[in-house]
Amino acid sequence: MGRLSPTVPKVLRPHPAVYPLRLYGDPVLRRKANPVSDIGALVSVPGFEPVGLRQVANALLETMFEARGVGIAAPQVGLSTRLFVAVEYEDDEEESEHQDTPLRSKVLRDFVMVNPVLTITNKKKDDTQTEGCLSIPNIYEEGVKRNRAVRVDYLDLDGVPRTVEAEDYLARVFQHEIDHLNGVLFLDHLPASVTDEYRKDLSALQRQAKANLKELEG
């Protein structure tokens, strides 16, 4: 038996201001995320140096703003942790002619939720609003049934228990992000025929997700 080759430690990249997004087909998007047991501990987004949860949350917000989203969950950047961020803007719908407008200037409230627990407060369903996902770019669909009102109990970044109630669009955002923490995507709420309609686009995303993972692991 020959000598064992020395193990070369993997060089981690510095923590970024904006994360690369994980795309449809990436296995992390289908895992149930782990609860945060120590809010002060360092966490490791795969491929990057360990940092505190607050730094992760700040980068998540910047990633969301750059992608012109309303929310993003930690698994969407490869971190299988029960954390998401979201914002409430001055208006709910993006205006395509104002794509150069900094979204930060439109924020009414932002939310950073650790270990969120969802309670439905109005079971009436709404399926009239268009929904999309930063991990499934350029695919938008109506018909996703969401509860009209919810309450979310969570910890903030200081470990303090908080509660927020939301209706309509913001309630939809919270339900979408908590779905991510449970490995569920918005397309899962739609008939299989919808996914079939986008089969070519989704296959392309899967190929890109695989290539991205290979680059990250390299």
Question: Which residues are known catalytic residues?
Answer: 177
Do 23 and 212 meet the contact criterion of CB atoms below 8 Å apart? yes
**Cα–Cα dist 41/92, whole Å:** 35
Beta bridge pairs of residue 121: none
**Cα–Cα dist 83/41, whole Å:** 14
Q: What are phi and psi of 177, to 5 degrees?
A: -70, -40
**Residues near 9 by Cβ (< 8 Å), separated by ≥ 6?**
none
Do 67 and 92 meet the contact criterion of CB atoms below 8 Å apart? no
Do 174 and 118 meet the contact criterion of CB atoms below 8 Å apart? yes
**Cα–Cα dist 172/143, whole Å:** 12
**Cα–Cα dist 183/27, whole Å:** 9
| Dihedral sign (CA 132, 136, 140, 145) | negative
